[in-house]
Amino acid sequence: MSGKINLAEKFAGFTAQWTPKIVGEIDDYDIKLARIEGPFEWHAHAEADELFLVVEGEMDLELRDRTVSLVQGEIFVVPKGVEHKPVASAECKILMLERKGTVNTGDGAPGARTVAAPERI
């Protein structure tokens, strides 16, 4: 990544939900964008924290002991090993910072929403 990234342009380039796209990288981390709506699945990343930034809209991060509500401009870091489930009642655009190779559905068995090799846009 050697230039600036326009998030609005990147989001305009795809409409599929729950399919993270890589837009850049920093050290050993991927910068990913996703459109989300509805509930995802419970999952955890045993070896990596995961940062969520709401770019547009609002979402909840359900944790086993509480729910964290996020609106545009807010960030939350899910610590490694913590089970979580993203939920958005209407379409929400998010940016995630994840260690390279982190699978969106976590460390469990792959499922219908698993994106093992996200597209770079």
Long-range contacts, 24-27 (Cβ 8 Å, 24+): 25/1, 25/100, 26/1, 26/97
Each residue of 51-92: pLDDT tens digit?
Answer: 999 999 999 999 999 999 999 999 999 999 999 999 999 999
So what's the pLDDT on residue 61? 98
| Number of structural domains in the chain | 1
So what's the pLDDT on residue 108? 72
- Domain containing residue 80: CATH number: 2.60.120.10
Determine, yes or no, domain membership for 76: yes
Determine, yes or no, domain membership for 57: yes
- Indicate the helix (H) or strand (E) that contains 51: strand 50-56
> Which residues constitute the domain of residue 46?
42-90
Determine, yes or no, domain membership for 72: yes
